[in-house]
Structure 1
């Protein structure tokens, strides 16, 4: 498997002439962007960029779909999402490319119901209101859960809400269930004591993907290489210092340390790698199913926007 530094070198090979000038890299992240949040908190990228006169601007988003919409309009250059947002973005015409991924983390997302809910199994979701972020990894988890339990998408009442609003609806029992990912899932476990109908285990790999605008990947290969060099350095800290990682995340996001210890424990690794043919094929299956359900406007070919090893 090529290393992250090799990935950076491949991106550098794409750079156009004259891109060595100083630049500000705009990076989007969300509360589930653990690698990026720790990178930001430790200041590693700023140090690497400063040597070439480059700077970084960080912007937080509620979820992946909002982040990729910002990438679409040029507000950010680079970011991290789960598996489903780039599929919706590609189908919508966003000019983006996959530039890396982290290993699967199926335990890091779940479908929750209140402890006293009459819903006991996934088949009981028929006719129920389920809160979720449209176009998020939770969207795919819910589709898979329905498919595996003999239900159609039209058998439920999806209520599309950003995570904070979805939690409020769940707590007030305005919805019957909630499909959600970490750290919101872990925070709800600690505070609300829900019953977990299912995690992504056996349903969704729940990959983390790193994405860039096509223009940025083509024109700013040197700056993108610096991002991946910093991520490579950060990986060692994340894998070897889980307690310190949880403390950094707690301070940055505002949830308690035990919540983030749970979040970190549900991730086998933070190592960023090239997309393999298998990972691209997994993404294609998600895209094909969303197209079949007419939840995206057209069929897409995922490999068309996967940056290949150089």
Structure 2
């Protein structure tokens, strides 16, 4: 597949921006005829959470005949499974590992946007009083992490650098909530997780970072759409892309305001949210084939670990290319 979805010319971008002033009238005129853009997200989908809380997408999508609806998932893999099945139309950011598993399952997905690397926003954690000091000491230990998440690849890369593999540890596939509970009661020796769960564990229980993604996994997060939806609704994707890009800049420029907005929604202290947000780039950008290079390394690592049913060509995907 080598087709690019090119849309949102300068004229259409200006037109869509101007149309937002007519959104209240448009929504009333259309009554209940607005179609839903079903947006799937995770707790770590910061920019999507901000858009939901601010309510700005309603006004931006109404002129196109759409309205957002919001659907929360525990992690990226079930979210992309839902996207592939057509149960949601658009996926908020998932870790770079997740699309690889979706590709291996034959999913028809379009890459809409990518966040620039945030390697310190995921880490291998141990308790403050743990005797473990080096990744090599994880041999024979029980480690919790979410299957197919960025944390999964970080663990593979960290173990490989230490001369180990997944065969040398006891894996425990756990959602973030279950991972936190297992970590705190000592049912696992280490926990691999991402922000804001990472920052929460550090601040609330004094968890110690054994290793983060620096030099191991750049941790780029992706926004995707089902390809049939992308082909039928490129203008909708243009609105979503522009909104995410703008929101990413706002979160970085207004860290305290963003943290105050997100804290009650996430059920976390604002200080935890601010720390988590400081480690994420939130730099939303277009996906190019050159920027997919690490995707191939991730795919090959999971294939070598016998976790993929077949080899994945990371370049064989659909790309949405917004014009500015």
Q: Same fold (TM over 0.5)?
A: yes
Report the equivalent of 2:289.
277
Partner of 1:18: none
- Give 2:173's aligned residue: 160
How far did 1:240 drift? 1.6
1:3 corresponds to: none
Secondary structure of the residue aligned to 2:315 is helix
Aligned residues: 295
Determine if contact 2:64/2:236 at 8 Å carries over to the other structure.
no
Cα pair 1:88 1:135 within 8 Å, conserved: yes
Q: Give yes or no for contact 1:96–1:305 (8 Å, CA) kept in 2.
A: yes
The answer to whether the 8 Å contact 2:109/2:318 transfers is no
Q: Where in structure 2 are the equivalents of 1:256-275 lying within 5 Å?
A: 256-267=269-280, 269-275=281-287
Residues 252, 278 of structure 2: 8 Å contact kept:
no
Moved more, 281-290 or 22-31: 22-31
CA drift at 1:304: 1.1
Matched with 1:60 is 72
**For residues 244-302 of structure 1, what are the alpha-carbon distances to aligned partners after superposition, in whole Å with 9 as ceiling and x for unaligned?**
111111122111100011011112x3221112333211111110111121111110111
The equivalent position to 2:155 in structure 1, one of 137, 142, 146, is: 142
Q: 1:201 maps to which residue?
A: 214
Between the aligned partners of 1:234 and 1:163, the Cα distance in structure 2 is 25
CA distance in structure 1 between the aligned counterparts of 2:214 and 2:56, rounded to whole angstroms: 34
Supply the distance in 2 between the matched residues of 1:24 and 1:205 (Cα, whole angstroms). Answer: 34
Unaligned runs of 5+ in 1: 1-5, 13-20
Counterpart contact for 1:114–1:177, Cα < 8 Å? yes
Q: Secondary structure at the match of 1:38?
A: helix
Residue 71 of structure 2: SS of its match in structure 1? Answer: strand
Structure 2 unaligned residues grouped into runs of 5+: 1-5, 13-32
Cα distance in 2, alignment partners of residues 166 and 154 from structure 1: 20
Cα offset, 1:22, TM superposition: 4.7
* Contact kept in structure 2, 1:35 and 1:234, CA below 8 Å: yes
Query: What corresponds to 2:242 in structure 1?
Result: 229
1:62-96 per-position Cα deviation (integer Å, ceiling 9, x unaligned) = 11112111112211111120111111111112221
Correspondence 1:41 to 2:53 = yes
Match of 2:28 in 1: none
Residue in structure 2 matching 1:300, options 312, 315, 322? 312
* The structure with more radius of gyration: 2
Q: TM-score, normalised by structure 2?
A: 0.87
SS of 1:99's equivalent in the other structure is: strand
